[in-house]
Every structure is written in structure tokens, then in C-alpha cells.
Amino acid sequence: MRKSRYGYGGPSNFEIGAKTLVREKLQACLLLVMGIVAWALPAQASTDTLAQANSALQAGEADTALSLLDSLPPSAEVHNLRCRVFFTLEQWDAAATECQQAVNLEGQNSDYHMWLGRALGEKADRASFLSAFSMAKRARAEFEEAVQLDARNAPAMADLGEFYYEAPGVVGGGADKADQVAAELDRLDPERAHELRGRTAESRKDYATAERELKLALATSKHPAYRWMTLASFYYRHERWSEMNSALRSGVKAEEADRQAAVALFNGASMLAQHNLEPSFAVEMFRQYLASAAKSEEAPAFVAYTRLARLEASLGDLGGARRGRVAALGLAHSYRPALELKF
């Protein structure tokens, strides 16, 4: 304040300018904060929606997952999740297209290459000879790229090993290559390494080694219920019925002590359903899986409902079968096997 001849008067020009400058700076800071908040809120909302979509995928709620993903702007993660939803729906063309988009947007992500390899592999299994030849080579290249990008990606390494022992040499397969992958897996994931060796040995018709390696996978597993079901499948393929039944029941018992391994119930029930064995036991396992809180995209709930419905129909429970079909389509309205159920 300046002092006038009449006492203290109004503020000086300097004081007015200083206050104006402070006010302008405060306004600028406020606008900056508001801008940051405006940017952060949609980003957080997108993150939350992605998390919700992934949760829906794990729960087998395919329609919900796709609806959530459709509400988001395109990104590598959105395309990858869409790919995985279509993968559970067995819509291989759509899955491969979405996974390719994810790779195009983020080519250094090992998991995106792995999922593209999986989708291409499924397409190859159902394609004509010439198309299958080309797609199988592309699938192999994607698995190899996934491992090259991340040498600690054990699931991708296991997928590559599986490709090698299953595919003919003309598309880059070979059991000797699978052996090399198993050796690399030893230091990352001994359980997967033993399983790969077991399946490779079985492809060579070395059944004694195959059984031994599958039992070693069981012995090293933190979730043995899974490995009991793998062993049961091995015994089925070699018509060792008593051992198959024993392994299945051991798997169910192991799951009771490890509720995070509920997918093992789906696996065991699916094996029985596929081969029309012990339908009542398969029904029980499917129901236990569907009642579990540990469902996963590895065992989509709508697939479980569809397979359960078939079994219930075969046992004369048409009411239960119809309810299963409705439940399946309520989760995934375009799932063709459920649409094809006629009851």
C-alpha cells in the first residue's frame, strides 16, 4: 500500500501486477491439474475395463468380455484379449485376426506371438492340406519368435516343444528339436520339461519312458491334480483301464486339497465325455468344476455346460440338458456346439 497525502490509499501498480501474475499462475496450475485428471480418468477407466474383461474371460462369460472390449479404443492388449475370447469360442479365423493385430501393434511382446501361434495352429489343424502347410509354418515361426523375445516364457517354450514333436519335418517339426526344448525347460519349469519329454517319448512309441516322465511331472507339480488327469489320458490311450480309473480318482482327490486346480476336473470329465466312458462320473466332475470359484479360460464355463448337457441327455435327464444348453448360450450366444444341441 502506498501512503497518500490523505493517509493510506489503494494498492500501487506494482502490487496490482504482482497479484495478477500470482492469480494467472494459479489458474494455469489449476488448468494443468484438471488436464492431468481429465487424461488420467479415461486411462484408469480403460485399465479397469480391461481388468473386468479379463475377469469375464476367466469366468467363461464370453459375451460380457467382448462387450467390454468393444467399448474400448483399439490397442494391442484389447486385440489380444479379443483373440483369447474368440479362441475359447473356437472361432479360429477371428482369433488369428485379432492376435495378428496385437502383434502388429506390439511386436516385441512374447505372449502376443505365443497366442498368435496357438490360433494359427488351431486353424492349421482344420485347414486343407496346402493351407495347413503354410499356417503350420507360420505357427512354428510365432512360437519361435515368442521364445526368442523372452527366453523365460515357459508356456511359449512348452508350446514350441509340442509343435516340434507333433509336426512333420517338412514344416519344421522333429522330436529331436523337442528334446532340445525340454533341456532348456529344465531350468525354468521342470514340471513342463518332464511332460514334454513324456509326450515326445510317446510320439516315438517309447511308452515306458513316456510313463516315467509323466510320473516325474506329477511328482514335481505344485498342482498334482492336473498331472493325474494327464496320466489318466495316457492310460486311456493305451487301454490301461484300471490305471486310468485310479489316476482319475486320484486327480479328483488332489483337487479337493487344492481348490485352485479345479480345471483338472474339467480335463478329466472332458476325457471321459469324449470317449463315452463313465458318464455319471463325468457329470459329477463337470458340476463340481462349474460350482468352483477357480474357473479359467483354459476350461471355458460355456464349454463345460455344453458337454454336461450332452451327458445329461445321454443319461435321460432332458430337463438338465436343456438347462445346460441355456446356461451355455447365456454366456456365449454364438458358441456353435451349444447352438447345435437339439433338445
Please answer whether residues 263 and 299 qualify as being in contact, where contact means their C-beta atoms are separated by less than 8 angstroms: yes
Query: How much is the average pLDDT of 161-182?
Result: 97
CB 230 within 8 A of CB 215: no
> Cα dist. 218→153, 267, 282 in Å?
21, 15, 22
Q: Per-residue pLDDT for 125 more than 50?
A: yes
Element (H, E) at 7: strand 7-8
CA 109 to chain centre: 15
Residue 42 confidence (pLDDT): 60
**Average pLDDT over every residue of 326-340:** 98
**Chain segment 243-297, per-residue pLDDT in tens:** 999 999 999 999 999 999 999 999 999 999 999 999 999 999 999 999 999 999 9
What is the tens place of the pLDDT at every residue in 140-153? 999 999 999 999 99
Q: How confident is the model at residue 16 (pLDDT cuts 50, 70, 90)?
A: very low
41 pLDDT more than 50? no
In tens, the pLDDT along 20-30 reads 554 655 565 54
Longest C-alpha distance within the chain, in Å? Answer: 115
231 against 42, higher pLDDT: 231
pLDDT for 4: 38
pTM of the entire predicted model: 0.86
List beta partners, residue 226. Answer: none
Question: What integer pLDDT is reported at residue 198 of this predicted model?
Answer: 98
